[in-house]
Amino acid sequence: MTEHIEDSGRPVVLRVTGLKKRFGSLEVLRGVNLTVLQGEVMCILGPSGSGKSTLLRTMNHLEEVDSGRVELDGELVGYKQRGSRYVTLPEKQLAAQRARIGMVFQNFNLFPHMTVLQNVMESPIGVLRRPSREVKETAMGLLDRVGLADWSHAYPRTLSGGQQQRVAIARALAMKPRLMLFDEPTSALDPELVGEVLDVMKGLAADGLTMVVVTHEIGFAREVADNVLFMDGGYVVERGHPDDVLGNPQERRTKAFLSKVL
Amino acid sequence: MSAPTRNRPEPATLPPPDSVRAAHRTHPGWWVLVVFVMLCVLALVRMLFTNPNLQWDVVAAWFFSKSILLGLMRTLQLTVLSMLIGIALGVLTAVMRLSPIPILSSVAWFYIWFFRGTPLLVQLIFWYNMAALFPTIQIGIPLTGPTFWSGDANVVVTPFVAALLGLALNEGAYMSEIVRGGILSVDHGQNEAASALGMRSSRAMRRVILPQAMRVIVPPTGNQVISMLKASALVSVTSMPELLYSAQIIYNRTFQTIPLLIVASLWYLIVTTILSIGQYYVERHYARGGRRSLPPTPVEKFRRRLNSLRSRMSPKEAR
């Protein structure tokens, strides 16, 4: 495998090139390029319908692409190249790729028939085939980290939204992912619960986890992101350091969006 | 609480809310109906005790007789086996119907269409007479491959096998729709979360989707078990000595038709009652995580009622 090193000396974890995607006649992504380095946090902002969630979902192939490529550690995600064509990967290999990419959803999507601890342990045991004693130890450590060790035997529906989202984060982390994707992780939460989830995410960023976050939390982006991507109409309109994009936007659409949400 | 009393002074005589009993006022028409229903119930009970044609002594004599118990065993065997095969077929065809592969989904559709669209009785007679359609039965790869095994249909398809095939294939078609409804009731996000965690679709189905679908699948399946128990009586037309036919054999000989039908009916009632209780606990099991707290079991309910009764009898102690 070729080493992907950018100027900073850190390896490239995720590279998206010329990504296009349409739903019927609607073009959702019209050629998106981006690079995420190891340990970097990228926040994707934009009005609804701008294609930011779709972009995130192509990164672990929950969404097929029409053209362009997504690479994780230099390896094509979801497809293999055969001659000049891309062929969808067999399910087994696709699942193995997804196991390396954690994902946190807007609606948590915890498994309601399992306890908190079972949610976290399910995939490390079932997919990675790690011994259950070791997994349990890791899982309890992660639950402790998100502040829910006392709730390990509760069922998800008995928890608040903020607690559920923290369990979802622990569940994704239990797979020891190379990259974490967050799809509007605080959008379904009551305002007073947003903070506890963002605090956990800040902690992960500080520990050097590579993260791509689709969010409406401008404050979080400003504080935590290394890179901000502003999207509109399927294009990346503006990108760069949060101080520039959020503090001194150059594009008209960025300014208009920020003036509405700030 | 004390703030709004400025304009409306509270009457000092109002009793504390604990001691107020809500009074239901009943329409006089209800009393007429109650009296009428009571009379009907009394007439029925009196008939049960006084009508000599019921021949309760005959009922008692045959109730635990060997042939009736054997028939009951046969009925239970048929119910359990055809339910198990039916559920397996149902899950298989439900997954086939939901698959994106057109051949699989249309074959499953056709299966359901055929077996739901013809009367069970006809299907049972059909299977019973299968030897007339296929004199020999072969197991092998259809159309092309070699035959691994073959046998005479009259020997292989015994009345029991014919009954089992008929009941199970019919049941499979109904279970298929029940299972499909259950799978469709699970939120799509669950599938996405499972895929995102690296599960393959077979594992996601087994560990995530089906356990949640069970909450929707179990109640109608309980109904199906109970209908199956009763539908197995249809098998009597193919002279399979299950519960009903065993009773018929006896009354054809002794002409004690009514008492023996009562024997069979009582056994059906006993088994359906046991099944209903079982269903309650199975439903409870799959309700895990569904509601914030589970409904009390009948035992818990009884204990609670007993406690509240006790505290009402001695109010001073309870307070």
How much is the pLDDT for B159? Answer: 86
**pLDDT for residue B6 is more than 60:** no
B235 touches chain A (CB under 8 A): no
Interface of B with A in 176-205 (CB under 8 A): 187, 189-190, 192-193, 195-201, 203
Q: Give residue B11's pLDDT.
A: 57
pLDDT for position B315: 55
β-bridge mates for residue A37, sequence order: A12
In percent, the amount of chain B with pLDDT more than 70 equals: 88
Regarding predicted confidence, which is higher, B8 or A13? A13
pLDDT single digits (tens) A22-74: 999 999 999 999 999 999 999 999 998 899 999 999 999 999 999 999 999 99
How many other CB atoms sit within 10 Å of the CB of residue B159? 15
The pLDDT of residue B1 is 42
Q: Indicate the pLDDT class of residue A7, thresholds 50, 70 and 90.
A: low
Per-residue pLDDT tens digits for B46-98:
999 898 888 899 999 999 999 999 999 999 999 999 999 999 999 999 999 99
> Is 0.80 topped by the overall pTM?
no
B207 touches chain A (CB under 8 A): yes
Q: Is A87 within 8 Å of chain B by CB?
A: no
pLDDT band at B279 (very low <50, low <70, confident <90, very high): confident
Query: Does pLDDT of A4 surpass 70?
Result: no
- Kindly state the tokens that stand for A30: 């019209």
Write b or e for each residue in A172-185: b if 16 or more Cβ atoms lie within 10 A of its Cβ, otherwise e.
Answer: bbbbebbbbbbbbb
Count CB-CB contacts under 10 A for residue A82: 8
Q: Which of B40, B270, B143, A167 is nearest to B262 (CA)?
A: B270
B319 pLDDT higher than 50: no
Q: Which residue has the tokens 């001073």?
A: B316
DSSP B113-153: HHHHHS-HHHHHHHHHTHHHH-SEEEEESSSSS-EEEEEEH
Residue B10 has pLDDT above 60, yes or no: no
> What is the mean predicted confidence (pLDDT) over B127-145?
79
Residues 6+ apart with CB under 8 A from B315: none
Sheet of A227-232: strand order equals A101-104, A179-183, A211-214, A41-45, A227-232, A235-240
Q: Is B294 on the interface with A (CB under 8 A)?
A: no
| Phi, psi dihedral angles at A173 (to 5 degrees) | -65, -30
Cβ contact, residue pair B198, A107, below 8 Å: no
Categorize the per-residue pLDDT at A192 as very low, low, confident or very high, splitting at 50, 70 and 90.
Answer: very high
Q: What is the DSSP letter of B295?
A: P
pLDDT of residue B314: 66
Measured in angstroms, the CA of A172 and the nearest CA of chain B are apart by: 7
The mean pLDDT value for B216-220 works out to 90
Each residue's pLDDT tens digit, B95-108: 999 988 999 999 99
Q: Do the beta carbons of residue A20 and residue A66 sit within 8 Å?
A: yes
Can you give the pLDDT at residue B45? Answer: 94
DSSP string, B28-89: HHHHHHHHHHHHHHHHHHHHHHH-GGG-HHHHHHHHT-HHHHHHHHHHHHHHHHHHHHHHHH
